[in-house]
């Protein structure tokens, strides 16, 4: 459960956002601090150099010069320390200090100093400072050599940088919390349609009594979820249709089997009841039982064929269809005593499954024979045009009404005109349709002239 919660898109988007924000904050902080720090160090450096320039311009050589210089200087003696050493040949070095400079130098000599750069040093317990040294070297014996040392505390800079770090951290934290929350809500809102979709799908899965008839509510946005739902609904629709067709098929098959079984049982019970007293009924009963059991056998065989055709994967090879069609038609005509006219193009070689071609033709001839008068001819045509070939069986029988031309290929479908007059189970054309589809072809029924029907099978040659 916990794992699922952390694996949701909302959680993942939020994680990525938080990481991104953290990354940006770190980079931005580094850049801001480097720029501000550098700028501040430059300012301090300029100030230190400015002080040195001012000192040099004032020609400080004694206490008096130094006093006047200090009167006009703006340097903050709490953070800027100046020491001037006046070196006159023959005399001991004299030092002039700005206020607090002596104390600073005493601390410096006691503490440990780390030189970070040539000018920037770190004094433990005191902090960073900037040191500039310059000299006025004497050119004559009477002028002294003066050396200027300026130390500037960089506390202002470090304080500013600390303030900046704290501010950036505070702002980033606020953004991180608010932003993460906002992103989480947004991601959840975007994923809400998906969550609802999953919920409805779960309900459908849980309630199989609905037989996939329920459709998912289609959200207007986001587009991806909208498209997914539409496709899913199409899938549900076709599953529902398939399920209904399967139910109809089972109901029809049971119904078709029920009739001959009831008839057989009826005759068996009649023989039981009256067989002893009236033995003459026995041959009639046996004849009916024989006829009905034959009907059952045909039905079961057709069902088996259909079920096999449903799972079949046809293996094809290059065959001479002209010969196969001619041989099958002639042998069928001879066995049924019907005149079969042949209009077969010679040497039509095609990539096909011989058994299924024979089965399709036999089924179509069987129907033509059943649904047309015995004295009318049946025509079998085979023609190859381009990459397709057409096999047609035409008769001059009762024909198929326009309204039923599409549905006669359905399982157990029989037109009303033949339902009680001609024997059959409505599976022949379903099997033919299945075999033709497996061969990547099509089958259509057209009207023949002046009457009857033409069943046309169009197959690819390769």
Closer CB to ligand ADP, 349 or 418, in the complex: 418
Q: Which of 193, 260, 333, 426 binds ligand ADP (CB under 6 A)?
A: 426
- Under the binding rule (CB under 6 A), the answer on residue 144 touching ligand ADP is no
Q: Which of 253, 321, 427, 436 binds ligand ADP (CB under 6 A)?
A: 427
Residue, CB closest to ligand ADP: 424
Residue 129's beta-bridge partner residues?
Answer: 121, 153
Element holding 62 (H helix, E strand): none
| 85/460 Cα distance (integer angstroms) | 110
Closer CB to ligand ADP, 216 or 299, in the complex: 299
Residue numbers 353-392 binding ligand ADP by CB under 6 A: 367-368, 371
To ligand ADP, the closest distance from the beta carbon of 393 in angstroms equals: 8
- Under the binding rule (CB under 6 A), the answer on residue 435 touching ligand ADP is no
To ligand ADP, the closest distance from the beta carbon of 367 in angstroms equals: 3
**Regarding beta strands 388-394 and 349-352, do their DSSP bridges make them parallel or antiparallel, or are they unpaired?**
unpaired
Closer CB to ligand ADP, 46 or 437, in the complex: 437
User: What's the order of all strands across the beta sheet hosting 120-123?
Assistant: 94-97, 80-87, 145-153, 127-136, 120-123, 113-115
DSSP 82-102: EEEEEE-TTS--EEEE-TTHH
Closer CB to ligand ADP, 80 or 302, in the complex: 302
Binding mask 321-360 for ligand ADP (x = CB under 6 A): ----------------------------------------
| 222/211 Cα distance (integer angstroms) | 28
| 430/126 Cα distance (integer angstroms) | 99
Question: Is the peptide bond preceding residue 317 cis, with omega within 30 degrees of 0?
Answer: no
Q: How many residues bind ligand ADP (CB under 6 A)?
A: 21
Element holding 439 (H helix, E strand): none
- Under the binding rule (CB under 6 A), the answer on residue 424 touching ligand ADP is yes
| 159/305 Cα distance (integer angstroms) | 92
Residue 86's beta-bridge partner residues?
Answer: 94, 146
**Regarding beta strands 340-344 and 378-385, do their DSSP bridges make them parallel or antiparallel, or are they unpaired?**
parallel
Residue numbers 60-79 binding ligand ADP by CB under 6 A: none
To ligand ADP, the closest distance from the beta carbon of 373 in angstroms equals: 11
Closer CB to ligand ADP, 175 or 413, in the complex: 413
Residue numbers 399-418 binding ligand ADP by CB under 6 A: 399-400, 408, 413-415, 418
Residues that bind ligand ADP (CB under 6 A): 367-368, 371, 395, 397-400, 408, 413-415, 418, 424-430, 453
């Amino acid at each position: 459960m916990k794992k699922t919660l952390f694996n949701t898109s909302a959680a993942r988007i939020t994680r990525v956002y938080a990481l991104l924000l953290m990354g940006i904050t770190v980079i931005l902080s580094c850049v801001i601090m480097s720029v501000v720090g550098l700028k501040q160090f430059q300012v301090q450096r300029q100030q230190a150099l400015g002080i040195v320039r001012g000192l040099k311009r004032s020609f400080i050589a004694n206490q008096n010069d130094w006093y006047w210089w200090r009167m006009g200087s703006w340097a903050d003696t709490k953070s800027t320390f100046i020491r001037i050493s006046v070196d006159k040949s023959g005399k001991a070095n004299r030092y002039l200090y700005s206020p607090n400079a002596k104390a600073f130098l005493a601390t410096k000599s006691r503490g440990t100093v780390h030189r970070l750069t040539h000018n920037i040093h770190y004094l433990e317990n005191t902090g960073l400072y900037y040191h500039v040294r310059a000299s006025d070297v004497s050119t004559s014996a009477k002028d002294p050599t003066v050396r200027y040392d300026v130390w500037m505390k960089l506390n202002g800079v470090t304080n500013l940088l600390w303030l900046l770090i704290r501010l950036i951290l505070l702002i980033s934290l606020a953004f991180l919390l608010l932003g993460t929350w906002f992103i989480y809500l947004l991601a959840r809102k975007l994923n809400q349609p998906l969550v609802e979709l999953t919920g409805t799908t779960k309900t459908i899965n849980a309630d199989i009594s609905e037989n996939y008839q329920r459709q998912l509510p289609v959200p207007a946005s986001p587009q991806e979820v909208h498209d997914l739902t539409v496709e899913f609904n199409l899938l549900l629709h076709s599953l529902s249709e398939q399920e209904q067709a399967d139910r109809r098929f089972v109901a029809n098959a049971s119904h078709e089997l029920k009739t001959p079984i009831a008839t057989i049982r009826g005759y068996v019970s009649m023989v039981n009841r009256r067989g002893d007293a009236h033995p003459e009924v026995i041959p009639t009963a046996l004849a009916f039982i024989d006829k009905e059991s034959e009907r059952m056998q045909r039905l079961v065989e057709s069902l088996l064929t259909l079920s096999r055709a449903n799972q079949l994967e046809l293996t094809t090879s290059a065959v001479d269809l002209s010969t196969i069609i001619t041989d099958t038609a002639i042998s069928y005509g001879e066995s049924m005593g019907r005149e079969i006219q042949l209009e077969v193009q010679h040497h039509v070689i095609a990539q096909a499954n011989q058994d299924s071609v024979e089965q399709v033709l036999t089924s179509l001839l069987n129907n033509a024979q059943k649904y047309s008068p015995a004295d009318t001819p049946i025509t079998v045509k085979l023609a190859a045009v381009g990459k397709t070939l057409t096999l047609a069986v035409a008769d001059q029988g009762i024909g198929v009404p326009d309204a039923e031309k599409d549905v006669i290929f359905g399982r157990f479908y029989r037109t009303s005109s033949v339902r009680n007059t001609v024997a059959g189970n409505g599976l022949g054309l379903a099997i033919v349709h299945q075999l033709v589809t497996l061969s990547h072809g099509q089958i259509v029924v057209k009207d023949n002239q002046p009457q009857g029907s033409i069943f046309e099978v169009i197959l690819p040659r390769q």
